[in-house]
Amino acid sequence: MMGERTVMQEALFYSFRIEDHVPGDHLLRSIDRFVDLDGIREHLKPFYSSMGRPSIDPELMIRMLIIGYCMGIRSERRLCEEVHLNLAYRWFCRLDLDGAVPDHSTFSKNRHGRFRDSDLLRKLFEMTVERCMAEGLVGAEGFAVDASLIRADVHRQRSVPGEEGLPPEAAGRAVAEYLDVLDDAAFGGSTPVTPKRINLTDPAARWTAASRERAFFSYSTNYLIDVDHAVIVDVEATTSIRQAEVLAQRRMIERTQERFGLWPEKLVADAAYGAAPNLGWLVEEQGIEPHIPVLDKSARRDDTLARSDFTFDHDDDSYICPEGHRLRPSLRNFSKPRSLANADGFIRYRAREKDCSTCQLKQGCSPNTPARKIMLSVHEGARDMARDIATTDAYLVSRRQRKKVEMLFAHLKRILKLDRLRLRGPNGAKDEFHLAAAAQNLRKLAKMKPIPGLAPA
């Protein structure tokens, strides 16, 4: 018998629990076990007034932000709509059916105010790292580091040539933040080179053509991960320049040691981190094995003798050429000792002009100079160590482990939808990168530590 449509009738009483309508295998159920925000009120207490109307619960806003970044909901306006409609989101935010969802403008007011002043989002990220450590997901035997370009929220045509500088009429929060970081080595102070173009909306964003795409303005997100389970142990926002990214690596390693007591045995990275000063810092100051390709420009392209054709005599501190002549760091005896290294940290080993002028290998060694010269870094010991490591089986394993960082960046852009920033200025980039890294760690916990009784996905 054909049934009839039941006309909805208003009931006087409902027996309804949101808990019963959230699937047991929902991602937010797994994540909720690892979100502990009990200390958030005490952390924010100095940033709230003791008078006036009660504010929106900060824990509610943080839980909504976690949902947005875990689920790839980039718009805060849309996030408020989704929390209003989605029962699982309401359950995670501890909202009942008639609980009011805050307006999207509340996030901006708190982000630019007490959240940023209290460094709350950094604390949230560190909370996820501590939980990963407590769950045994961080081994600290090896770390990997890399950086990825994230598009800035600007129009590429709203810019001026770099040599013109920022016009006096430029104003706004992002402009003020740009002026504040001009001396910061992670942003304006990273290089004396004038950028090709400066954006008027977000001047701290860097004009870059480092990818195969058309040039664009960007920031760099830097990840330091533990290679055991690809847990992000630190994150840093910088301008999109190699020097700034190398500095970020140092800051993250030092901060991880200070904050969590993690001291890795090895660091895995690509050739961008293989310059002599950085390898020297890792080996000589930190005692970390560099599983990093050495950035070496000593090879010659004109078929003349390379540095590898010369033999280094450690006892005499000199190079011996194929003809038996010696190249020394100093050809004169000074009454007052002088530093052999230049400002760039390189020692020049020179041959005597009279030895080179009569040498039968002159045209194949130094055809355009009176005498042969070889540059040697003061950190050559660290470079040699990195070269030796590159010949081992452990290095082959490290090369595979380094891909875990790239996979995290792919997940960040494709799954979490963070291929373009929504917030502007260096502080906006930091906020987004902290939230995204926290979301990735929480998703990692949910995957590696499933709810007991449920089969892992």
User: In this predicted model, what pLDDT tens digit does every residue of 125-178 receive, in sequence order?
Assistant: 999 999 999 999 998 889 999 999 999 999 988 899 988 888 888 888 888 888
Residue 171 is predicted with a pLDDT of 84
SS3 210: coil
Note whether 347 and 378 are within 8 A (CB): yes
Note whether 210 and 149 are within 8 A (CB): yes
Task: Please name which of 148, 116, 137 lies closest in space to residue 233, comparing C-alpha atoms.
Answer: 137
Any bridge partners for residue 207, and if so which? 217
Task: Please name which of 422, 427, 426, 452 lies closest in space to residue 65, comparing C-alpha atoms.
Answer: 422
Angle at which helices 425-448 and 58-70 cross, to 10°? 70
245 phi, psi to nearest 5 deg: -70, -35
Any bridge partners for residue 149, and if so which? 220
Residue 112 is predicted with a pLDDT of 79
pTM, two decimals, is: 0.88
Distance, in Å, from the CA atom of 236 to the CA atom of 220, rounded to the nearest integer, reads: 8
26 phi, psi to nearest 5 deg: -65, 140
Q: Is 52 left (phi over 0), alpha (psi -120 to 50) or beta?
A: left
Local confidence pLDDT in tens for the 457 residues of the chain: 565 665 555 655 566 788 888 898 899 999 999 998 888 888 888 777 777 677 788 889 999 999 999 999 999 999 999 999 999 999 999 998 888 898 888 888 888 788 888 889 999 999 999 999 999 999 888 999 999 999 999 998 889 998 888 888 888 888 888 888 888 888 888 888 888 999 999 999 999 988 778 899 999 999 999 999 999 999 999 999 999 999 999 999 999 999 999 999 999 999 999 999 999 999 999 999 999 999 877 777 777 888 888 888 888 888 889 888 888 887 665 555 555 666 667 888 888 888 898 888 888 888 888 888 888 888 888 998 999 999 999 999 999 999 999 999 999 999 999 999 999 999 999 999 999 999 999 999 999 998 887 655 4
Residue 366 is predicted with a pLDDT of 86
Residue 58 is predicted with a pLDDT of 85
Residue 337 is predicted with a pLDDT of 56
